[in-house]
Protein backbone atom coordinates (compact mmCIF):
# COMPACT_ATOMS: atom_id res chain seq x y z
CA UNK A 1 0.00 0.00 0.00
CA UNK A 2 2.94 2.32 0.66
CA UNK A 3 4.11 2.06 -2.96
CA UNK A 4 0.59 2.70 -4.19
CA UNK A 5 0.29 5.77 -1.97
CA UNK A 6 3.59 7.17 -3.22
CA UNK A 7 2.58 6.60 -6.84
CA UNK A 8 -0.74 8.36 -6.30
CA UNK A 9 0.97 11.28 -4.59
CA UNK A 10 3.34 11.60 -7.55
CA UNK A 11 0.39 11.71 -9.98
CA UNK A 12 -0.92 14.77 -8.16
CA UNK A 13 1.98 16.85 -9.49
CA UNK A 14 1.35 16.41 -13.26
CA UNK A 15 -2.42 16.65 -12.73
CA UNK A 16 -1.99 19.89 -10.83
CA UNK A 17 0.38 21.13 -13.55
CA UNK A 18 -2.30 20.60 -16.23
CA UNK A 19 -5.02 22.26 -14.13
CA UNK A 20 -2.87 25.29 -13.35
CA UNK A 21 -1.77 25.64 -16.99
CA UNK A 22 -5.33 25.56 -18.35
CA UNK A 23 -6.56 28.01 -15.71
CA UNK A 24 -3.64 30.38 -16.33
CA UNK A 25 -4.30 30.77 -20.05
CA UNK A 26 -8.09 30.82 -19.68
CA UNK A 27 -7.79 33.74 -17.28
CA UNK A 28 -5.48 35.62 -19.65
CA UNK A 29 -7.64 35.17 -22.77
CA UNK A 30 -10.80 36.34 -20.95
CA UNK A 31 -11.70 39.96 -21.81
CA UNK A 32 -10.72 42.66 -19.34
CA UNK A 33 -7.79 43.05 -17.01
CA UNK A 34 -7.05 43.54 -13.31
CA UNK A 35 -6.71 47.31 -13.63
CA UNK A 36 -9.59 48.06 -16.02
CA UNK A 37 -11.85 49.16 -13.17
CA UNK A 38 -9.37 51.72 -11.91
CA UNK A 39 -10.14 55.39 -12.43
CA UNK A 40 -8.57 56.67 -15.66
CA UNK A 41 -4.81 56.75 -15.30
CA UNK A 42 -2.13 58.30 -17.40
CA UNK A 43 -0.67 55.76 -19.85
CA UNK A 44 2.76 56.05 -18.22
CA UNK A 45 1.31 55.36 -14.74
CA UNK A 46 -0.68 52.38 -16.03
CA UNK A 47 2.41 50.95 -17.68
CA UNK A 48 4.36 51.32 -14.47
CA UNK A 49 1.65 49.44 -12.55
CA UNK A 50 1.60 46.66 -15.14
CA UNK A 51 5.39 46.47 -15.06
CA UNK A 52 5.44 46.20 -11.27
CA UNK A 53 3.28 43.05 -11.51
CA UNK A 54 5.14 41.66 -14.54
CA UNK A 55 2.13 42.04 -16.84
CA UNK A 56 4.19 43.91 -19.45
CA UNK A 57 6.14 40.76 -20.29
CA UNK A 58 5.16 38.25 -23.01
CA UNK A 59 2.45 35.82 -21.91
CA UNK A 60 4.66 32.73 -22.07
CA UNK A 61 7.27 34.47 -19.94
CA UNK A 62 4.57 35.39 -17.38
CA UNK A 63 3.54 31.74 -17.34
CA UNK A 64 7.01 30.36 -16.65
CA UNK A 65 7.61 33.01 -14.01
CA UNK A 66 4.39 32.06 -12.24
CA UNK A 67 5.14 28.33 -12.44
CA UNK A 68 8.64 28.90 -11.06
CA UNK A 69 7.27 30.88 -8.13
CA UNK A 70 4.54 28.28 -7.55
CA UNK A 71 7.15 25.51 -7.38
CA UNK A 72 8.70 27.46 -4.49
CA UNK A 73 5.34 27.82 -2.74
CA UNK A 74 4.87 31.47 -3.74
CA UNK A 75 1.33 32.23 -4.98
CA UNK A 76 2.23 35.82 -5.76
CA UNK A 77 0.68 39.16 -4.79
CA UNK A 78 -3.01 39.92 -5.09
CA UNK A 79 -3.91 42.49 -7.75
CA UNK A 80 -7.08 43.60 -5.94
CA UNK A 81 -6.25 43.21 -2.24
CA UNK A 82 -3.31 45.61 -2.28
CA UNK A 83 -0.29 45.07 -0.07
CA UNK A 84 -1.36 41.45 0.52
CA UNK A 85 0.01 38.18 -0.79
CA UNK A 86 -2.39 35.56 -2.08
CA UNK A 87 -1.46 33.09 0.66
CA UNK A 88 -2.33 35.72 3.29
CA UNK A 89 -5.80 36.28 1.87
CA UNK A 90 -6.47 32.56 1.42
CA UNK A 91 -5.15 31.90 4.91
CA UNK A 92 -7.97 34.05 6.26
CA UNK A 93 -10.73 32.40 4.21
CA UNK A 94 -9.61 28.76 4.00
CA UNK A 95 -10.36 27.78 7.64
CA UNK A 96 -13.88 29.17 7.25
CA UNK A 97 -14.52 27.30 4.00
CA UNK A 98 -13.08 24.09 5.44
CA UNK A 99 -15.27 24.38 8.54
CA UNK A 100 -18.34 24.98 6.39
CA UNK A 101 -17.58 22.13 3.99
CA UNK A 102 -16.51 19.62 6.66
CA UNK A 103 -19.60 20.31 8.78
CA UNK A 104 -21.91 19.94 5.79
CA UNK A 105 -20.20 16.73 4.65
CA UNK A 106 -20.34 15.20 8.15
CA UNK A 107 -24.05 15.96 8.49
CA UNK A 108 -24.75 14.66 4.98
CA UNK A 109 -22.84 11.44 5.65
CA UNK A 110 -24.46 10.66 9.01
CA UNK A 111 -27.99 11.60 7.95
CA UNK A 112 -27.70 9.94 4.52
CA UNK A 113 -26.39 6.64 5.87
CA UNK A 114 -29.01 6.57 8.62
CA UNK A 115 -31.96 7.42 6.34
CA UNK A 116 -30.78 5.04 3.62
CA UNK A 117 -30.45 2.17 6.10
CA UNK A 118 -33.90 2.85 7.58
CA UNK A 119 -35.43 2.92 4.10
CA UNK A 120 -33.77 -0.37 3.13
CA UNK A 121 -34.88 -2.11 6.33
CA UNK A 122 -38.44 -0.92 5.69
CA UNK A 123 -38.57 -1.61 1.96
CA UNK A 124 -41.97 -0.89 0.39
CA UNK A 125 -43.33 0.41 3.67
CA UNK A 126 -44.44 3.91 4.63
CA UNK A 127 -41.04 4.92 6.02
CA UNK A 128 -39.39 3.81 2.80
CA UNK A 129 -41.81 5.81 0.64
CA UNK A 130 -41.37 8.96 2.75
CA UNK A 131 -37.56 8.77 2.70
CA UNK A 132 -37.38 8.01 -1.04
CA UNK A 133 -39.73 10.92 -1.77
CA UNK A 134 -37.56 13.25 0.30
CA UNK A 135 -34.40 12.00 -1.44
CA UNK A 136 -35.88 12.39 -4.91
CA UNK A 137 -37.09 15.90 -4.09
CA UNK A 138 -33.75 16.85 -2.52
CA UNK A 139 -31.69 15.71 -5.51
CA UNK A 140 -33.61 17.98 -7.89
CA UNK A 141 -33.00 21.21 -5.92
CA UNK A 142 -29.50 22.75 -6.23
CA UNK A 143 -28.04 24.62 -3.27
CA UNK A 144 -28.20 27.99 -5.04
CA UNK A 145 -32.00 27.59 -5.10
CA UNK A 146 -32.26 25.98 -1.67
CA UNK A 147 -30.26 28.72 0.06
CA UNK A 148 -32.64 31.61 -0.82
CA UNK A 149 -35.67 29.46 -0.01
CA UNK A 150 -34.33 28.55 3.44
CA UNK A 151 -33.44 32.19 4.04
CA UNK A 152 -36.92 33.33 3.05
CA UNK A 153 -38.63 30.80 5.33
CA UNK A 154 -36.38 30.52 8.39
CA UNK A 155 -34.81 33.97 8.45
CA UNK A 156 -37.21 36.45 6.90
CA UNK A 157 -40.63 34.89 7.48
CA UNK A 158 -40.18 33.33 10.94
CA UNK A 159 -37.08 35.23 12.09
CA UNK A 160 -35.59 32.06 13.59
CA UNK A 161 -32.08 32.41 12.22
CA UNK A 162 -29.81 35.21 10.95
CA UNK A 163 -29.84 35.60 7.18
CA UNK A 164 -26.15 36.43 6.73
CA UNK A 165 -22.82 36.46 8.50
CA UNK A 166 -20.48 33.95 10.08
CA UNK A 167 -19.03 33.37 13.50
CA UNK A 168 -21.85 32.15 15.73
CA UNK A 169 -23.55 28.71 15.72
CA UNK A 170 -26.86 30.24 14.62
CA UNK A 171 -25.17 31.87 11.61
CA UNK A 172 -23.79 28.48 10.52
CA UNK A 173 -27.17 26.75 10.32
CA UNK A 174 -28.50 28.12 7.03
CA UNK A 175 -25.31 27.82 4.95
CA UNK A 176 -24.57 24.34 6.32
CA UNK A 177 -28.11 23.16 5.58
CA UNK A 178 -27.96 24.66 2.09
CA UNK A 179 -24.85 22.65 1.35
CA UNK A 180 -25.75 19.46 3.22
CA UNK A 181 -29.38 18.77 2.25
CA UNK A 182 -28.78 17.96 -1.46
CA UNK A 183 -25.91 15.66 -0.44
CA UNK A 184 -28.10 13.99 2.20
CA UNK A 185 -30.58 13.14 -0.54
CA UNK A 186 -27.92 11.64 -2.82
CA UNK A 187 -26.23 9.62 -0.08
CA UNK A 188 -29.63 8.37 1.10
CA UNK A 189 -30.43 6.98 -2.35
CA UNK A 190 -27.00 5.37 -2.66
CA UNK A 191 -27.16 3.85 0.81
CA UNK A 192 -30.65 2.48 0.33
CA UNK A 193 -29.73 0.69 -2.90
CA UNK A 194 -26.45 -0.73 -1.61
CA UNK A 195 -28.02 -1.79 1.70
CA UNK A 196 -30.76 -3.70 -0.12
CA UNK A 197 -28.09 -5.60 -2.05
CA UNK A 198 -26.05 -6.21 1.10
CA UNK A 199 -29.04 -7.62 2.96
CA UNK A 200 -29.50 -10.17 0.16
CA UNK A 201 -25.86 -11.28 0.15
CA UNK A 202 -24.98 -14.80 1.27
CA UNK A 203 -22.96 -13.92 4.37
CA UNK A 204 -25.68 -11.60 5.68
CA UNK A 205 -28.42 -14.19 5.07
CA UNK A 206 -26.28 -16.79 6.82
CA UNK A 207 -25.80 -14.50 9.81
CA UNK A 208 -29.55 -13.94 10.03
CA UNK A 209 -30.16 -17.69 9.73
CA UNK A 210 -27.94 -18.23 12.79
CA UNK A 211 -30.38 -16.07 14.74
CA UNK A 212 -28.17 -13.02 15.24
CA UNK A 213 -30.10 -9.86 16.18
CA UNK A 214 -30.93 -7.63 13.23
CA UNK A 215 -29.03 -4.74 14.81
CA UNK A 216 -25.84 -6.80 14.94
CA UNK A 217 -26.33 -8.22 11.44
CA UNK A 218 -26.74 -4.75 9.94
CA UNK A 219 -24.06 -3.02 11.98
CA UNK A 220 -21.38 -5.69 11.77
CA UNK A 221 -21.97 -7.38 8.41
CA UNK A 222 -24.24 -5.46 6.03
CA UNK A 223 -23.16 -1.90 6.77
CA UNK A 224 -19.50 -2.45 5.87
CA UNK A 225 -20.18 -3.71 2.35
CA UNK A 226 -23.10 -1.34 1.82
CA UNK A 227 -20.96 1.67 2.67
CA UNK A 228 -18.47 1.13 -0.19
CA UNK A 229 -20.61 2.86 -2.90
CA UNK A 230 -21.13 5.77 -0.48
CA UNK A 231 -17.40 5.96 0.13
CA UNK A 232 -16.84 6.09 -3.63
CA UNK A 233 -19.18 9.06 -3.86
CA UNK A 234 -17.44 11.04 -1.11
CA UNK A 235 -14.76 12.25 -3.54
CA UNK A 236 -17.24 13.91 -5.94
CA UNK A 237 -19.25 15.04 -2.91
CA UNK A 238 -16.26 16.90 -1.50
CA UNK A 239 -15.74 18.59 -4.86
CA UNK A 240 -19.43 19.46 -5.05
CA UNK A 241 -19.35 20.97 -1.57
CA UNK A 242 -16.30 23.05 -2.42
CA UNK A 243 -17.79 24.40 -5.64
CA UNK A 244 -21.20 24.79 -4.02
CA UNK A 245 -19.71 26.71 -1.13
CA UNK A 246 -18.56 29.37 -3.60
CA UNK A 247 -22.20 30.21 -4.30
CA UNK A 248 -23.38 29.70 -0.72
CA UNK A 249 -20.63 31.91 0.71
CA UNK A 250 -21.64 34.64 -1.70
CA UNK A 251 -25.33 34.34 -0.77
CA UNK A 252 -24.73 34.37 2.99
CA UNK A 253 -21.87 36.88 2.91
CA UNK A 254 -19.38 34.41 4.41
CA UNK A 255 -15.71 35.47 4.20
CA UNK A 256 -14.43 32.14 2.86
CA UNK A 257 -12.31 31.41 -0.20
CA UNK A 258 -15.46 31.05 -2.31
CA UNK A 259 -16.32 34.69 -1.79
CA UNK A 260 -12.75 35.73 -2.61
CA UNK A 261 -12.83 33.54 -5.72
CA UNK A 262 -15.99 35.16 -7.10
CA UNK A 263 -14.83 38.72 -6.49
CA UNK A 264 -11.37 37.92 -7.87
CA UNK A 265 -12.78 36.34 -11.03
CA UNK A 266 -14.98 39.38 -11.65
CA UNK A 267 -12.08 41.76 -11.06
CA UNK A 268 -9.57 39.64 -13.02
CA UNK A 269 -7.34 39.15 -10.00
CA UNK A 270 -5.30 36.51 -11.81
CA UNK A 271 -3.11 35.40 -8.93
CA UNK A 272 -5.99 35.12 -6.47
CA UNK A 273 -8.00 32.94 -8.87
CA UNK A 274 -4.96 30.79 -9.57
CA UNK A 275 -4.23 30.40 -5.88
CA UNK A 276 -7.81 29.33 -5.16
CA UNK A 277 -7.71 26.78 -7.99
CA UNK A 278 -4.43 25.33 -6.69
CA UNK A 279 -5.80 24.97 -3.15
CA UNK A 280 -9.12 23.44 -4.19
CA UNK A 281 -7.58 21.04 -6.74
CA UNK A 282 -4.96 19.84 -4.26
CA UNK A 283 -7.58 19.29 -1.57
CA UNK A 284 -9.86 17.27 -3.87
CA UNK A 285 -7.02 15.04 -5.13
CA UNK A 286 -5.73 14.31 -1.64
CA UNK A 287 -9.26 13.60 -0.41
CA UNK A 288 -9.76 11.13 -3.28
CA UNK A 289 -6.50 9.41 -2.34
CA UNK A 290 -7.64 9.02 1.27
CA UNK A 291 -10.92 7.50 0.07
CA UNK A 292 -9.08 5.01 -2.15
CA UNK A 293 -6.96 3.91 0.80
CA UNK A 294 -10.05 3.42 2.95
CA UNK A 295 -11.35 0.77 0.54
CA UNK A 296 -8.95 -1.79 1.95
CA UNK A 297 -10.18 -1.02 5.46
CA UNK A 298 -13.81 -1.72 4.57
CA UNK A 299 -13.09 -4.59 2.19
CA UNK A 300 -10.05 -6.78 3.01
CA UNK A 301 -10.23 -8.24 -0.52
CA UNK A 302 -9.00 -4.92 -1.91
CA UNK A 303 -5.24 -4.93 -2.33
CA UNK A 304 -3.05 -2.31 -3.99
CA UNK A 305 -0.21 -3.46 -6.21
3-class secondary-structure state, position 141: coil
Distance CA 193, CA 197 (A): 7
DSSP state, 268?
T
Give the global pTM: 0.83
- Residue 12 is predicted with a pLDDT of 84
Distance CA 304, CA 270 (A): 40
Q: Who's near 1: CB < 8 A, 6+ residues apart?
A: 293, 296, 304
Closest CA to 230 of 294, 140, 300: 294
Domain 94-298 = CATH 3.30.750.24: no
Distance CA 86, CA 263 (A): 14
Closest CA to 266 of 90, 53, 33: 33
Distance CA 222, CA 198 (A): 5
Cα dist from 242 to 120, 126, 134, whole Å? 30, 35, 24
In this structure, the number of other CB atoms found within 10 A of the CB of residue 257 comes to 28
- Residue 41 is predicted with a pLDDT of 64
- Residue 2 is predicted with a pLDDT of 65
Residue segments in the chain with a per-residue pLDDT below the cut of 50? 305
- Residue 279 is predicted with a pLDDT of 87
- Strand partners for 85: 77
Amino acid sequence: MLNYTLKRLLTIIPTLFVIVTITFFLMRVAPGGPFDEERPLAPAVLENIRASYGLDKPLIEQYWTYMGNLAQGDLGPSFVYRDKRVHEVLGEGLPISMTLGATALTIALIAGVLLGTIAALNQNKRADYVIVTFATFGITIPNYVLAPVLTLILALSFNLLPATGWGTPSQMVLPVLSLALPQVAIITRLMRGSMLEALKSDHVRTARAYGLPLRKVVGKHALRSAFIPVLTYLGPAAAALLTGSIVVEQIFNIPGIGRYFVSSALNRDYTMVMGTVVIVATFVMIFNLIIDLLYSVLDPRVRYE
